[in-house]
């Protein structure tokens, strides 16, 4: 396979894993869905887990870049960006094909905390937590670590609630709660 074919395989596998889950997607299904032969697939990835890790790395990079860029467009102050993060989240929830967070799914399907896939999923969440904590620090929060954790908790809860309960406006409800927490942290 040409070098860019590997990247294409990872992008296509990412879509299949996101749509169908990790354990429910076997290599035979990936061969059909990606159009890549099993021989070619195994040439670049010795196991399905290696392909999952590559897909998670790509998703992490794409999601964080897009999410953070959108937040910076929506607000120009750190405090505003913390609150705008929920608007960006709501936009993601309204995208066609939204099926929740791939990293929440990965952590649930690979629950052993030492498993490389679980570690990769946790790293994505840690990077987001660091981002929110940094914004809280720049906003002048008395306890930026605590506010970062609270914002992260609201974000994660909004994602799960949106997937499971279509009757809630989780992004906006979480945004309202975040505003109260922010106001308290800055008072």
Provide the CA 177 distance to its chain's centre, in angstroms.
21
DSSP 6-74: HHHHHHHHHHHHHHH-STT--HHHHHHHH---HHHHHHH-SSHHHHHHHHHHHHHHHHHHHHHHHHHHH
Q: Which two tokens stand for residue 106?
A: 């990965």
Please provide the average confidence, as pLDDT, over all residues in the chain.
Answer: 93
Per-residue pLDDT tens over the stretch 3-18: 587 888 899 999 999 9
pLDDT of res. 31: 87
Superfamily of 56-186 according to CATH:
Tetracycline Repressor, domain 2 (1.10.357.10)
Q: Which two tokens stand for residue 148?
A: 């970062």
With CA atoms as reference, report the closest residue to 115 among 52, 44, 30: 52
pLDDT of res. 3: 53
Cβ atoms of 14 and 58 within 8 Å: the answer is: yes
Give the CB-side neighbour count of residue 40, counting CA atoms within 13 A.
16
Per-residue pLDDT tens over the stretch 93-104: 999 999 999 999
pLDDT of res. 27: 87
Domain spans of the chain?
A: 56-186
Residue 42 banded pLDDT, cuts 50, 70, 90:
confident
For residues 43 and 144, the model is more confident at: 144
With CA atoms as reference, report the closest residue to 87 among 4, 170, 182, 186: 170
Question: Has residue 1 got a pLDDT over 70?
Answer: no
């Amino acid at each position: 396979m040409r070098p860019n074919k590997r990247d294409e395989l990872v992008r296509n596998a990412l879509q299949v894993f996101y749509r169908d889950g990790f354990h429910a997607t076997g290599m035979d299904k990936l061969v059909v869905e990606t159009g890549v032969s099993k021989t070619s697939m195994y040439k670049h990835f010795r196991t399905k887990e290696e392909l999952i890790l590559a897909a998670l790395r790509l998703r992490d990079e794409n999601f964080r870049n897009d999410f953070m860029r959108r937040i910076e467009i929506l607000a120009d102050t750190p405090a505003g960006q913390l609150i705008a993060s929920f608007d960006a989240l709501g936009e993601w929830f309204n995208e066609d094909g939204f099926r929740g967070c791939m990293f929440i799914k990965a952590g649930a399907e690979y629950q052993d905390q030492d498993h490389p896939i679980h570690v990769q999923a946790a790293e994505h969440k840690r990077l987001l937590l660091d981002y929110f904590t940094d914004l809280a620090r720049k906003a002048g929060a008395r306890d930026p670590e605590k506010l970062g954790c609270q914002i992260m908790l609201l974000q994660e809860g909004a994602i799960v609630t949106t997937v499971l309960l279509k009757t809630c406006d989780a992004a906006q409800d979480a945004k309202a709660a975040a505003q109260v927490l922010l106001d308290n942290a800055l008072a």
